[in-house]
């Protein structure tokens, strides 16, 4: 007579017999963590200005041209930010969109950003273009 013993799923899991998805541990540098915080600050600044911000992996595939951007949905401005972009590209996009729409940083937002991002957000695009034209001439 054979002794067949059935194991419960919790017992199997403790024995390592159940295979599941392994969580990928991605090492994020301190610099990327800081940039992620800057993205969160700019996102909150957009929200305070009346914009909805949707940061998600935008659909890709045949016939799709994916791009982060700002649009209007039922009369409300929405910022779509492609999560598949690098942290640097996401930050650059938010800064550019912030400038293009003429938004202003609040005091709390300005205090949470480094000087270089603060100055980029506060410089209107037209002023930068005029400065570049004057330097070329």
Query: 52-77 burial, b for 16+ CB within 10 Å, e for fewer?
Result: ebebeebeeeeeeeeebebeeeeeee
Q: For the chain, give every domain's residue range.
A: 29-136
pTM metric for this prediction: 0.69
The answer to whether 93 and 86 are in contact (CB under 8 A) is: no
pLDDT for residue 5:
56
pLDDT for residue 111:
92
Q: What is the mean pLDDT of each run of 10 residues along the chain (137 residues)?
A: 53 53 70 94 96 89 81 92 93 94 91 92 67 46
The answer to whether 67 and 10 are in contact (CB under 8 A) is: no
Give the integer Cα–Cα distance in Å for 37 and 85. Answer: 16
Give the integer Cα–Cα distance in Å for 90 and 135. Answer: 29
């Amino acid at each position: 007579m054979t002794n067949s013993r059935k194991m419960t799923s919790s017992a199997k899991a403790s024995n390592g017999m159940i295979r599941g998805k392994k969580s990928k541990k991605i090492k994020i540098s301190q610099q990327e963590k800081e940039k992620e915080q800057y993205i969160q600050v700019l996102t909150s600044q957009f929200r305070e200005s009346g914009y909805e911000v949707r940061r998600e992996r935008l659909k890709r595939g045949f016939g799709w041209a994916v791009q982060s951007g700002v649009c209007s949905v039922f009369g409300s401005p929405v910022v779509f930010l492609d999560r598949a972009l690098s942290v640097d590209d996401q930050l650059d996009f938010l800064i550019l969109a912030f400038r293009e729409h003429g938004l202003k940083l609040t005091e709390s937002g300005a205090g949470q950003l480094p000087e270089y991002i603060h100055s980029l957000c506060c410089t209107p695009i037209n002023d930068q273009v005029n400065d570049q034209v004057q330097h070329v001439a």
